[in-house]
Amino acid sequence: MNDPVTTLSEILGPKGWLSGTDAEPYLRDWLNRYGVTPLGVARPANTTEVATVVKACREAGLAVIPQGGNTGLCGGAVADRPNAVIVSLSRMTAIGEPDPESGSILVDAGVVLAALHEALEPHGLMFPMHLGAEGSARIGGLIGTNAGGSQAFRYGMMQDLVLGLEVVTPDGAVWDGLRAVQKDNAGYQLRKLYCGAEGTLGVVTRAVLRLYPTPKQRASALLVVSDFAAAVSFGAFLRDEAGEFLAGLEFFSDVGLALALKHLPDLAYQLETRGDVYLLVEVASGSPRVPLDEILNSALEWGMEQGLVVDGALANSGAQREQFWRLREEQPEGQRLEGEQLKHDISVPPGAIARFIEAGAKLCSDILPGVRMNPFGHLGDGNIHYNLSPPEGRADFDGKATAFAEALAALVTGMGGSFAAEHGLGRAKIAMAERNRSQAERALMARLKDAFDPLGTMNPGVLVRAG
């Protein structure tokens, strides 16, 4: 066979094959912790080119590393060896015409999430996936990591929003599963199997996604609650009271709020009272006849009567709603600007959130006295972004990052939760998975990987240990 670089260059042309300095933006993960310089970066323009690249890499014995927007936090979309090719889907950005009657749309895997939102807006339709990285995260990467986001408790994870897939398999064949139907029980649910596979079973090239009507009205409120136990109790009441109209239920702490306000001067906090814990609540409806303000006001009054809610306000304009949401969404940026941080992506049953945060605080303080804990996330589904900053006046964690990660993983596992709620395992959490999940579970995953990719060339070293 010819030199693989020559072969791939000929297949893709100058826009489709990058090496040297042109390839540098693709080579390191978002946190700059992982990434070995590969032979180059392939940027195919369509499914046929993806299949040709994958087949050529297979014949040359090269690892294939699928990459979307490279916004992941576990190092799963960059190479771990020089004998590899990163396959970026960044040129595959076609968005089809939405089908309002079926509630679906066909898109390329390289479509940026924010671009999809923008394309759907004139049609009165929405794709209900919202997250902090939506300006750069791509559909293929969201599928590969089975992304969740702020409305997962209402609409589900990515696996619930994918109706059909097109995938290039590790041997370069193409599986066409682009069926726009919710019910399809003709065998194994392959489309769901690729959701969360992090590119280890093939390269997702196109997807049929599930759409919903854009709400015709929303009502949002920012609340100060007495503590995390009160947040959990009030959240349970809201799920019962607002039912299917509840579209957002987020929480954050005063630690995170203080950091966001400190480092982002355009943020505005508009309540009179500060507290330890805050809730951001949103209800929405496709009908203008549903009394959303009344539902939210009534819930707020009940919360105050019960001593759960200390203060709160309903957004009186779209601009104020945006400010409320920014207070929650800028939590990661405020902490990043503060300096060194440790991120832990955790989930527990929603009713256990307060117990986990209390136990986690004691555990982390024992490891490093004075460490600052910034828990925030999705109250509706129990997903906690449990991020840490060093003690005041310190620039680092005294080499105790692994101790924090392992202790928190053991704690959440013991509570029936997960140490990898949204971000996946990537390269970062394989050892953690092997310590905290059963041998039977890990063996099943390894056998599945071997069955799909017996040569082990598809994103080796991700999810399961490389053979």
Distance CA 409, CA 243 (A): 32
Distance CA 160, CA 166 (A): 16
Find how far residue 300's CA is from the centre of its chain.
30
| Residue 440 pLDDT | 97
Distance CA 396, CA 338 (A): 12
Distance CA 393, CA 416 (A): 36
DSSP, collapsed to helix, strand or coil, labels residue 153 as helix
| Residue 206 pLDDT | 98
User: Of 212, 105, 238, whose CA–CA distance to 156 is shortest?
Assistant: 212
Residue 429 sits at φ, ψ, to 5 deg, of -120, 20
| Residue 132 pLDDT | 82
| Residue 63 pLDDT | 97
What angle, 0 to 180 degrees and rounded to 10, lies between the N-to-C axes of helices 331-338 and 318-329? 50
What are the pLDDT digits (tens) for 32-81? Answer: 889 999 999 999 999 999 999 999 999 999 999 999 999 998 899 999 99
What are the pLDDT digits (tens) for 431-459? Answer: 999 999 999 999 999 999 999 999 999 99
* Contact yes or no for 138/156 (Cβ under 8 A): no
Distance CA 40, CA 42 (A): 7
What are the pLDDT digits (tens) for 342-397? Answer: 999 999 999 999 999 999 999 999 999 999 999 999 999 999 999 999 999 999 99
| Residue 467 pLDDT | 61
What angle, 0 to 180 degrees and rounded to 10, lies between the N-to-C axes of helices 228-242 and 292-305? 140
β-strands 63-67, 84-88 pairing: parallel
Residues in the chain with pLDDT < 70? 1, 467
| Residue 47 pLDDT | 98
